[in-house]
Structure formats: C-alpha cells, structure tokens
Amino acid sequence: MNIEKRDVGIEGISSLYWNSDDIHGFGIKDKDGPIHDWQMSKDAIISSCTNYDVVVQAGGCMGMYPRFYCNYFEQVYTFEPNPTNFEVLSMNLTDKIEAKQCALGLGTEENVDVRLTNKTTNMGACSIIDEKDPGQTLKGNIPVISIDSLNLHKCDLIHLDVEGYEPYCILGAINTIEKFKPVIVLETSVEIPGYTVGRQLRQNLLYLPL
C-alpha cells in the first residue's frame, strides 16, 4: 500500500493521509463521493443535534468523517474493520478521536473477515457481509462489538455507513438509543428478514425523518 497526503480543503483540514490507490472512498469535492456527501448533508445533520458531546461513527474508512466531526463534537468514536484502512485512519487521529479496529453489529457475531469491492479503488466499499449470502457475515479474525457494549455516558449522534450492516448495528444499539435519543444517520435503510430499520426507528422508538 502506498500512502499519500491528499488535499481536503474544507472543515479547516488542509490534507489527510490516504491510500493513493483509492478514488471513490475519498470522492471529489463539490462533485461526488464521501467528501461531496459531507458538504451536502453536514448542515442538516449538525443542526438536528441539540448537544455536541459524543458521536459514534462507522465505518471510519481512513478517517475523513471522524476528523470532520472533531469540529463539532467533544468526543468521536469511530470503528473500521479493514486493517488497511485502519492503518491509514490511525495516521489521521486527533486527541478527540477514539478509534477501534473492529466492526459494529449485534456484538454476538463470530469474528468476521472483510470483503473488498472494486479492488482498491473504492476502499469505502469494504463489507463484512458475504455477497453470496447477504444474511451471513464472513468468518475471520476481526471482532464485532455492539454500540451498547461501549456503555457511553452520552450519545448525541450515531452515523452509520457500513455497507448493508446498518440494521444489525441499530439492533446492537437499542439500549443506547432508548437512553439518549441520539440523531441517527444511515447510508441506507436496508432490510434483514423480519426487520426494517427505518420502520423500527419510527414505530418503536418514535423517530422522525430529518
């Protein structure tokens, strides 16, 4: 893996260390990808929060969103299962960020492996789901923990972009959600058998869309 410093130019961040092969995990400012998504959604996300103490963010990829959230929250927890991504993420940390090389989920899964898509040009598309059986995780040596297991003293925002594993992360965070009622941002409201994450949040936890 070759690592470079890549220009950011927003949020007061001039550059971040990044895997030089990656294209889509970083994106193009004002055009597409994660850096563009942040520019388009940041104001709505931040303005929806009432407190700015703790944010839980996953997947951390190589540290872009954790670094952005440092501008708004006192403590950032980020989680990234891919060892290659985590190596670079660790180079972009600040004192506000607590990073763990693991996946978020129910916390009862066996250790998992990481599936890469599009070779190394989209390091943000790493997944722990078996593409041949999306209901199953890949068995490997990466631990899976739940948000509830963190025993947070506060939680103001949960932001998940975990390539289809969002429902399991939410199920593993029910106690935290019921206790703190954080703003919840999901890349997608995917379904698993018998469970639709959007419906669960609306009907059982009284959440409304932003």
Given this model, what pLDDT does residue 192 score? 54
Q: Is residue 153 part of a domain?
A: yes
Is pLDDT above 70 for 199? no
- Residue-level pLDDT at 138: 83
Q: What is the spatial distance between Cα 153 and Cα 176, in angstroms, rounded to a whole number?
A: 9
- Is 68 a member of any domain? yes
Distance CA 202, CA 139 (A): 32
Q: What's the pLDDT tens digit per position in 172-188?
A: 999 999 999 999 998 76
Domain residues for the domain of 99 are 51-204
Asked if the structure places residue 124 within a domain, the reply is yes
pLDDT tens digits, one per residue of 17-56: 999 999 999 999 989 999 999 999 999 999 999 999 999 9
Check: CB of residue 39 under 8 Å from CB of residue 30. Answer: yes
28 found inside a domain: no
User: For residue 46, is it within any domain?
Assistant: no
More confident residue, 85 or 133: 85
As for how many domains the chain has, the answer is 1
SS3 sequence of the chain: CCEEEEEEEECCEEEEEEECCCCCCCCECCCEHHHHHHHHHHHHHHHHCCCCCEEEEECCCCCHHHHHHCCCCCEEEEECCCHHHHHHHHHHCCCCEEEECCEECCCCCCCECCECCCCCCCHHHCECEECCEEEEECECCECEECCHHHCCCCCCEEEECCCCCHHHHHHCCHHHHHHHCCEEEECCCCEECCEEHHHHHHHHCCCCCC
Angle at 94 between CA 57 and CA 175, to 5 degrees: 30
The domain spanning residue 180 has which CATH number? Answer: 3.40.50.150
| pLDDT at residue 116, rounded to an integer | 80
pLDDT at position 190 is 56
21 found inside a domain:
no
Confirm whether 32 is domain-assigned: no
pLDDT above 90: percentage of residues in the chain: 72
* Mean pLDDT of all residues in 71-82: 98
Q: Is the entire prediction scored with pTM above 0.85?
A: yes
With respect to residue 58, please indicate whether it lies within any of the assigned structural domains: yes
- Indicate if the pLDDT at residue 195 is higher than 70: no
> Does the structure show a pLDDT above 60 at 144?
yes
